[in-house]
Structure 1
Amino acid sequence: MAPLVGPSGRAGRQACSGHSVGKLTDRAAGKEVTVSVTPTRQHSGYRFAHVGGRGPVRSRSLEPDGHRGDLVGDPQERPGGGILEFKNSNGAVRYGIKFLRPLADASKKQVLRRRDENDQRWKTGRAAQAALRDVLGKIERDEYVDPAKVTFGAYLDEWAKGLRLAPSTTSSYEKNIRLHIEPNLGAVPLSKITGTKLSAFYRKLETDGRRDHRAGQGLSARSVRYIHTIIPKALDAAVNDDMISRNPADRANPPTAKQAKAPEIHPWSPERLRTFLDWSRENSDLHAAWFTLATTGVRRGEPLALRWRDVDLDARTMAVRPSATLVKFKGGGEQITEGPTKTNKARVVDLDDDTVALLQAHRRERANLALQLGRDDALVFADQEGEHLHPERFSRTFRSTVTWCRKRLGKLGHVDLPPMIRLHDLRHTHATVLLRIGTNPKIVSERLGHASVTITLDTYSHVLPTIQRAAVDQFHAAMSADHKYQTSISGAVSGDPGVGVEALTSGVAPNMQNARAATVSPLKITAAALAWERSPTPPPWSRDL
């Protein structure tokens, strides 16, 4: 609706004082409109009614005391703002708001809005009034920013500046915002971001999202899902800042968790691991580091932040506390920092005898280079000056070491060569070997520093078939007639709930003697025997184990 212009200031008040009929000019239509004017209460504005827009429109002011009156006159003279009521093409009544927005030169500009920050029309006068009150409050507090003028890229930049995350995480967020989000969505007004736009953006990344030496290829579903974790957080902040009323990312369609699952891992077998470690002992300056990673399953950054005070060679333990991380800055530059581990929890990892002996020899070698390199506060794995090893170069050195190992052993006629793997696959190798030899997954999870055993089982699901086969064999052995877990049942009458079960005799599972025959199964008997075995009063036969 185009504004109507009438007499302003004192002239306007004098011209419109009392109940009278006057003329106003519709700028858009270039014509005069006859209006009936009456004074409003407790202020110097005026009421009017006119025809404009796509249907009958009434412009009403919102006074400081809450009084609503139809308004006429110069916008600069109007207190507060106004609520517009109009009909759309279907005849439905909708509402808009108008208000004076301060400009940088201390002047004011009248703003007319028919839609909210989500591009939706106000359906009730109450909703429009609430929106107007909110805008006027922000203007009074000097907090008003027109959502229609704020781009998603500009808001992301401001949001990223206030993040309180680990330096590496902040760096990763900024990198993905700079390389992927801003080039595609940065110029889009924040209020125009929709679930449909985000879904299309994710599909584009999957087909043509890479910005490195493989530009033109798509990002993996895992990478796209990571980018999706950034966008909802930023839009949640926009909701909290009253820039938008709801988070459009909730309606987006990113890659599912199943689609974004990490690719299948290919760990070394114990034989191939031994082949590599035997070769690196004589051919790699970082043999102690490779050996420690393989026998403890720690993450890359954890040994790079390990200090001698964290290693108790007498107790054969290693305390994993901080982790070394490479932080890259926007515009270039990088820094190695120490922060908490991935799960933000310290843990103690037991060491085997070979690892203890190797670390003892490694500390002597470091101390021989320089006395300070063997002190308690010195890094266990460091450069010649005692500074952190560069994490990315550390990984590249491992790959080049594996490549050199394969070439040398191949020339010597070795057939079962260790295949190329990443440094992180030493961790996978450690976990896989432990699970295949029957180690409790809970113990494996604790050694790896996983947040829960569920993560361990999900990550190493490829090992589960082997574990299941071993479990079936063990169960069969437990149920066999000549095993300690004898499962013969005497005196039970099937279907008679009053008949007790003489299961395993009182020397094996007395906690089953009062069970009902109809409820007993071999699985329950075995479980009861195992539970009693772990009880404070062990069964007599446990002394024979």
Structure 2
Amino acid sequence: MPAAHWERSMGYVADRWHKTRPTPDEPECGQHKGMVASAAHGKGKRWQARYDAPNGREVTSLWATKTEAEREINKQESAKATGSWLDPKAGRVTVERFALDTWLPAQSINGRSEVEYLGALRRYCFPEWGHREIRSIKPSEAGAWQKLLISKYKLSGTYPNRVARYVRGVFRLAVIDRVIPVSPFERISAPALDETAVQPPDVAEVKQLLAAAHIDRWRTMLEVTALTGLRSGEIRGLRLARVDFLRRTMLVDQQLVHEKGKGMYFDELKTGAGLRTLPLPKRVVDVLAAYIERHPVSTSGPGAGLIFTMPAAGLIGESTIAFALKAICKRAGLGPRHWHELRHHYASVLIAGGENPKVVQKRLGHKDVMTTLRTYSHLFAEAEERTRDVLDAAWAEPGETGDGAEFSGTGGRIPESRSGSGVVAQLRA
């Protein structure tokens, strides 16, 4: 006798222990009257819930009783109807397999970023969770793991937040792909962005560095970086064709990078925001034009088209300019500086000049304005305070003491000789 079942469109329950189409000569089951035992009789759970997933693939599960199997069918059909269906077997994939096979290939990143992401996962995630089914991770474990980044792995600064962002992304995609119903990080706050306030060199210090840079190449690269905010890879990969001397603009669309096993090569920028056209001050145009006249751009070899190269048209490595800057700092009698701090200098000058955060973000090629605000929040605060001081001084009434005293007798009008930058200089003194 065939087992009881529902319409195929609604799923059905199958009796594994008995045949649905026995032949007339097959003996009756000794335990269940009117049925013929199958080869699976007495082995494992008797009732099998069967239904089609939204993609048409049949999904099955085993249950001890018919009632449980029917309840499972009802649950899954209801989930399909509301759009909340999840493959019960999908969550069995391990964290490592989902991260490597699904999440990583889905990221729109270049090769270097993929190496960075993979390295973070292998060092901090897979040792803890790699072998675990992705559905088994609990929120309490997610919170505890984030604390391990600091207590066990001794990460600091922005790195705990960055690593956690990668792993949280793995689980977020698992939710989107309907592998798990909810991420264990759903109500768990990400590690705080513990950024150290940058203290960029001021104009006076940059001029000291320029004076101590005896090699033309390093002096010019240093000055151009301070006046454009280019990253190390961007200045080292700067091509003559990207500079429009007539319109005084510079297209930043590539960088020179180094990757273990591949050596140095030209690569696209890490984010779309990094692609930008910079307005150039006259000083940069003049400095570059003079440098190119002294050192014509090579038209052949690995450095073809590059403005800055080593002798014999060799590409400049990141460690090379880092070593050069270290020597320049020592010669200038200054503390050590990193090349990236010249980029911070550029940002600090823009902020001090009154540029708003969105403009600074665009000039630096940051992905979002929050990155700019987090990095330079204290500098924006200082700029705001200077604005208050200038206005207080300008509008001080005659006889007032404090910041406005120096303008007493002017009726609140700024003397012409003290307007503009002169006021700021007076207030800083």
What TM-score does the superposition give when structure 2 sets the normalisation length?
0.70
CA gap 1:208/1:271 in 2 versus in 1, 3 angstroms: same
Counterpart of 1:379?
306
Alpha-carbon separation, structure 2, partners of 1:6 and 1:315: 83
- Matched-pair contact (CA < 8 Å) for 1:7–1:15: no
CA contact (8 A) 1:59 1:83 kept: yes
Q: Paired residue for 2:199?
A: 266
The letter of the residue matching 1:356 is V
Structure 1 letter corresponding to 2:158? R
Quote the residue 2:225 is aligned against: 293
Instruction: Report sequence identity in percent.
Output: 21
* 1:38-79 CA distance string (max 9 Å, x none): 56xxxx889xxx9xx9xxxx95455789xxxxxxxxxxxxx9
Which has more strand, going by share of residues?
Answer: 1
- Contact 1:323/1:341, CA 8 A, preserved across alignment: no
Is 1:235 the counterpart of 2:171? The answer is yes
- Given the alignment of the two structures, is residue 318 of structure 1 paired with residue 250 of structure 2, yes or no? yes
The DSSP-based 3-state class of the residue aligned with 1:340 is coil
* 1:467 pairs with 2:415: no
| 1:250 matched to 2:186 | yes
CA distance in 2, matches of 1:7, 1:421: 79
Matches within 5 A, 1:383-462: 383-384=310-311, 386=313, 388-390=315-317, 392-394=318-320, 397-398=321-322, 400-409=323-332, 417-439=333-355, 441-451=357-367, 455-462=371-378
Change (3 A) 1:146 1:356: same
Deviations along 1:198-251, whole A, 9 cap, x unmatched? 222222221232xxxxxxxx0125212212222233223334544333322324
- Structure 1 residues 201 and 334: alpha-carbon distance in aligned structure 2, compared to 1, 3 A threshold: farther
2:392 counterpart residue number = 476
Would you say 1:208 and 2:152 are equivalent positions? yes
Matched, 1:127 2:78: no
Q: CA deviation at 1:307?
A: 1.1
Unaligned runs of 5+ in 1: 17-21, 24-35, 66-78, 87-93, 98-122, 139-143, 210-217, 410-416, 483-545
Distance (Å, rounded) in 1 between the aligned partners of 2:394 and 2:37? 93
Could you say if the C-alpha distance between residues 262 and 470 of structure 1 is closer, same or farther in structure 2, counting changes exceeding 3 Å? same
Cα gap change, 1:340/1:5 in structure 2, threshold over 3 Å: closer, same or farther? Answer: closer
Cα offsets for 1:254-288 (capped at 9, x unmatched): 31xxx2142211211221111011111x1464222
Aligned position for 1:14: 27
Aligned equivalent of 1:363: 292
Deviation at 1:346, TM superposition (A): 3.4
Secondary structure of residue in 1 paired with 2:306:
coil
Give the Cα separation in 2 of the matches to 1:81 and 1:404: 69
1:344 paired residue number: 273
Using CA pairs under 8 Å that are at least 6 residues apart, name the structure with larger relative contact order, 1 or 2: 2
How far apart are residue 185 of structure 1 and its match?
1.5
Larger Rg: 1
For 1:137-164, what per-residue CA distance to the aligned partner results, in whole angstroms no more than 9, with x for missing partners? x9xxxxx995576322122221224543
- AA aligned to 1:273 is V
Report if aligned partners of 2:110, 2:270 keep a CA contact under 8 Å in 1.
no
Relative to its length, the structure with more helix (as a share) is 2
Counterpart in 2 of 1:226?
162
RMSD between aligned residues? 4.2
**Partner of 1:231: helix, strand, or coil?**
helix
Structure 2 SS opposite 1:286: helix
Deviation at 1:196, TM superposition (A): 2.2
CA distance in 2, matches of 1:476, 1:80: 76
| Aligned residue-pair number | 368
Deviation at 1:448, TM superposition (A): 2.2
SS at 2:255's partner residue? strand
C-alpha contact 1:222 1:262 (8 A) present in aligned 2: yes
CA distance in 1, matches of 2:24, 2:164: 58
Cα distance in 1 for partners of 2:373, 2:280 equals: 23
Secondary structure in structure 2 of the residue aligned to 1:14: coil
C-alpha deviations, 1:55-108, integer Å up to 9, x for none? xxx95455789xxxxxxxxxxxxx97654449xxxxxxx9469xxxxxxxxxxx
Q: Is the 8 A contact 1:206 1:221 kept in 2?
A: no
The letter for the 1-side match of 2:118 is: E
Q: Which amino acid aligns with 2:27?
A: Q
Unaligned runs of 5+ in 2: 1-14, 53-58, 399-429
Aligned counterpart, 1:152? 95
Q: Which amino acid aligns with 2:100?
A: D
Q: Could you tell me which residue of structure 1 aligns to residue 142 of structure 2?
A: 198
Give the TM-score normalised by the residue count of structure 1. 0.57
Task: Return the offset for 1:176.
Answer: 1.2
Using a 3 Å threshold, how does the CA distance of structure 1 residues 371 and 465 change in structure 2: closer, same or farther? closer
**SS at structure 1 position matched to 2:251:** strand
Q: For residues 241 and 326 of structure 1, what CA distance do their matches in structure 2 show?
A: 34
